[in-house]
Amino acid sequence: MCTPEAYVASRLLQGYTQYKSDKEKSNRINQNTDAKAKNIREEAIYKDNALIRQKEIKEDQITEKKLKLREEETQKKGQVKLAIFEKGIGGNLFNSLVGDVERQAGKDSNIIDQNYENYMYGMSQDRLAWNRRFTNQINNLPRAYKPTWHSYALSASMDIGSMYMANAAPSTPDVNTTMETSSGSNSGFRY
């Protein structure tokens, strides 16, 4: 068995080395978490940029469709006007046929606009969903709280106190004194 001073010293050293070890472990975990979070943030930026590019491509495609629709409308109007002019027809029939061409072009334009709005809404929802995914990945990374020396010192002091209490000899009664075990009135208590 070691001396009480040696036990105190060894227990304090053990507590301090455990504290240093736990502190280094928490620093290592936090550094790894920070590196992973940085990678996830970069991946999120790349994904968001890719979604923005998809949106820009779709905007270009929609603009191209609208231009083609206007060209077709202009060509159809020209064909209708030419056919009516060649036949010598005018008045309400002319206005009705040109109106039909314009109405159909308007319907087609509305369909393109609705598809575009639906696509943009879906794209914004995709961007939000990806943002939530990346945020949740970052939030779910492990974090370690740095330990404080106080808890280790308290643990060591409790162990040292327990050791002293366990190793202290109990007080023994004096041999010359006798213990009165009778149930007489000499109990030491006065009423």
Confidence at residue 81, expressed as pLDDT on a 0 to 100 scale: 82
The closest alpha carbon to 47, from 175, 108, 137, 107, belongs to 137
CA distance linking residue 53 with residue 126, whole number of Å: 13
Residue 115 has pLDDT above 60, yes or no: yes
* HSE-CB of 55 using CA atoms within 13 angstroms: 16
- Tokens for 58, please give them: 């779709």
Q: Which residue has the tokens 């469709």?
A: 65
Q: What is the mean pLDDT of residues 113-137?
A: 92
Concatenating the DSSP letter of every residue in 30-87 gives HHHHHHHHHHHHHHHHHHHHHHHHHHHHHHHHHHHHHHHHHHHHHHHHHHHHHHHHHH
**Following CA atoms 85, 88, 92, 97 in sequence, which dihedral angle do they give, to the nearest 10 degrees?**
-40
Q: What is the mean pLDDT of residues 106-127?
A: 91
Q: Are the beta carbons of 135 and 48 closer than 8 angstroms?
A: no
Confidence of residue 39 (pLDDT cuts 50, 70, 90): very high
Q: Are the beta carbons of 54 and 123 closer than 8 angstroms?
A: yes
Q: What is the rounded average pLDDT for all residues in the chain? A: 84
CA distance linking residue 87 with residue 151, whole number of Å: 102
Provide the whole-model pTM: 0.60
Confidence of residue 24 (pLDDT cuts 50, 70, 90): very high
Q: What is the CA radius of gyration of the chain?
A: 44
Q: What is the mean pLDDT of residues 174-178?
A: 65
